[in-house]
């Protein structure tokens, strides 16, 4: 089954074809056959220096039986900090603890220090910041122009709705539970 060529590879083929057609109409090589590197650069439309680098990489790849790598290609990075739902819940509760119990504004540095102690968190400030954003927290400026950690409004509304539903269900089942306990 033939390999599908991408757009960059297709453009390269067209450049080589145009070069060969120019040589055909000229009925002679445009660049002497002895200047291979210069001919390749002219055919492909890239510089001779780049052709040299690619040839060197090709020689190394051939000797080590590996593929030529694409420079600057982004490859998926494996997350170093892997947290389960329990740890994410602990982080969320830790933020709420700062506001409700300690009566202080949580910062990433404070949270990081506490999480290293509590759940043996081994990530950096940046990792913690990404995790905080993924579970619904944002840093927002308040009136004093200081940034504070806020939970997304939709999550706050969802929590309030859930607590209200739990309270209604408790009020409904409480008399039934008392009656059953008396039996």
| Residue of 97, 108, 102, 94 whose CA lies nearest to 138 | 108
- CATH number of the domain enclosing 132: 1.10.10
Q: Residue 167: inside a domain, yes or no? A: no
Is 91 in the same domain as 143? yes
pLDDT score of 49: 92
Domain of residue 122: give its range. 85-151
Across 113-120, average pLDDT? 88
| Residue of 36, 43, 40, 38 whose CA lies nearest to 20 | 43
Q: Residue 44: inside a domain, yes or no? A: yes
Q: Is 100 helix (H, G, I), strand (E, B) or coil?
A: helix
Is 90 in the same domain as 33? no
Lowest-confidence range among 10-14, 48-52, 129-133, 143-147? Answer: 143-147
Q: Residue 181: inside a domain, yes or no? A: no
Confidence of residue 99 (pLDDT cuts 50, 70, 90): confident
> Which residue has better confidence, 34 or 78?
34
Half-sphere CA count of 15, side-chain side, radius 13 A? 14
102 in Cβ contact with 74 (< 8 Å)? no
153 in Cβ contact with 134 (< 8 Å)? no
Q: Residue 77: inside a domain, yes or no? A: no
Lowest-confidence range among 109-113, 149-153, 165-169? Answer: 149-153
> Which residue has better confidence, 141 or 9?
9
pLDDT score of 25: 92
Cα distance between residue 39 and residue 125, in whole Å? 52
Q: Residue 171: inside a domain, yes or no? A: no
Residue 60 has pLDDT above 80, yes or no: yes
Q: Is 121 exposed, middle or buried (0-12, 13-18, 19+ CB in 10 A)?
A: buried
The count of structural domains within the chain is 2
pLDDT score of 150: 66
128 in Cβ contact with 122 (< 8 Å)? no
Residue 12 has pLDDT above 80, yes or no: yes
pLDDT score of 54: 86
**Count of Cβ atoms closer than 10 Å to residue 115 Cβ:** 20
Cα distance between residue 12 and residue 18, in whole Å? 10
pLDDT score of 72: 72
Computed over every residue of the chain, the mean pLDDT equals: 82
Is 89 in the same domain as 146? yes
16-45 burial code (b ≥16 CB/10 A, e <16): eeebeeeeeeeeeeebeeeeeeebbbbbbe
Q: Residue 59: inside a domain, yes or no? A: yes
Q: Residue 112: inside a domain, yes or no? A: yes
- Over residues 119-160, the pLDDT tens digits come to 888 888 888 888 888 888 887 777 666 666 666 677 777 777
């Amino acid at each position: 089954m033939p390999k599908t060529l991408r757009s960059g590879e297709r453009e390269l083929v067209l450049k080589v074809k145009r070069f060969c057609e120019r040589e055909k109409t000229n009925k002679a090589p445009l660049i002497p056959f002895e200047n291979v590197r210069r001919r390749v650069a002219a055919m492909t439309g890239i510089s001779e220096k780049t052709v040299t680098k690619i040839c060197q990489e090709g020689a190394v790849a051939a000797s080590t039986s590996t593929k030529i790598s694409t420079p600057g290609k982004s490859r998926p990075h494996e997350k170093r900090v892997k947290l389960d739902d329990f740890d994410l819940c602990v982080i969320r509760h830790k933020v709420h603890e700062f506001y409700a119990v300690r009566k202080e504004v949580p910062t990433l540095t404070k949270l990081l220090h506490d999480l290293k102690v509590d759940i043996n968190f081994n990530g950096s400030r940046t990792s913690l910041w990404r995790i905080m954003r993924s579970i619904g927290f944002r840093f927002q400026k308040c009136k004093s122009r200081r940034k504070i950690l806020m939970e997304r409004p939709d999550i706050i509304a969802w929590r309030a709705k859930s607590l209200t539903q739990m309270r209604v269900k408790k009020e409904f089942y409480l008399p039934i539970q008392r009656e059953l306990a008396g039996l």
